[in-house]
Structure 1
């Protein structure tokens, strides 16, 4: 689902050469109502959006995401109705012909550029991932509040990243912004070596059983992806963990 001006647009992504999102329909926010539909449809975390001419049943991946979706949609409805009149400028008379290009190009997530050997962060031609691209693959959502908090929690500085297959550590300049970590060799570089989209990730401290015999280390993990990062002081460690924890990461 996308919010575009005074409309809610629902899309899907097919196996097309361009990997674009295909628009299936749109609902004006003006006059829209919402009703929980779990009992009616027997689908967990589902709710129905009633537009002026049609209705759509959707389902979130969990209860917390459903609450955030409903809250944001109701807020958008209120704002649309305060604009005095409905907006009738539809995308097209044939929504199925419309496509939204929000893809980073390809299905592999760039976190894979972090895995492997010492040279894994020295690849050229880095490709970033849009937030939409990451949300699609990880089956998660980003709310208005998430975006607001993310803007307030940007951070940059030196960080050490543990090599996956050895006990060595690589010092990098790391920028945390737009729900991602961007890795540079130094603060003077114009382009990142790699990026790690963090939506869906958890940030924790390694357990003793993980044999990370260093101070000021935190772990980022999502499914089978696990990364260890080390700060150079207690102060920078606490700042990193605080900022990462402040943004919606847990799916």
Structure 2
């Protein structure tokens, strides 16, 4: 699963045992290039270049591919348009969980009790189980709907 932020693209996999995502790597968006592949992947696939990495991805349909590319290109352009601020990232390869990062930051995670696993119906889990993706536009519409519903309830 990919997580697209305003300045970075994370690529992850999900652990079936812990139901958490493990980060395999990241690509700063300022250096990302998209390219159409040749051959079999030309229909629904494209290549994401970032630094010394190349990720070949394939969507389920042309519409999904177009949404992915539109969101990626938009985020890349916005990242390039921002003033060049030096951003330092923690090493994602050296940490297997957020607990380790918290330990490195000085928080004693070992004394906290972990909550029991519960079923999550957030966007990430729904997309994972349905093997689908949503565009940034779709996510913004969903947030707007929730805000409008909450506004009507509390008005």
What is the TM-score of this pair, normalised by structure 1? 0.46
Q: 1:147 aligns with which of 128, 135, 139?
A: 139
Higher Cα Rg, which structure: 1
Which structure has greater helix proportion? 2
Aligned to 1:132: 124
Cα displacement (A) at 1:152: 3.5
Distance of 2:77 and 2:127 partners within structure 1 = 26
The count of residues paired between Structure 1 and Structure 2 equals: 131
What is the TM-score of this pair, normalised by structure 2? 0.71
RMSD over equivalenced CA pairs, Å: 2.7
- Where does structure 2 lack aligned partners over 5 or more consecutive residues? 99-116
Distance of 1:84 and 1:23 partners within structure 2 = 27
**Residues 103-122 of structure 1 aligned to structure 2 (within 5 Å):** 105=117
Which structure has greater strand proportion? 1
Distance of 2:10 and 2:86 partners within structure 1 = 14
Q: 1:80 to 1:63 in 2, by over 3 A?
A: same
Distance of 2:72 and 2:126 partners within structure 1 = 21
Cα displacement (A) at 1:6: 0.9
Contact 1:22–1:97 (8 Å) recurs in 2: yes
Aligned to 1:54: 53
- Where does structure 1 lack aligned partners over 5 or more consecutive residues? 100-104, 107-126, 157-174, 176-186, 188-251
Deviation string 1:72-101 (CA, Å, 9 cap, x unpaired) is 0000001100112265423415256246xx
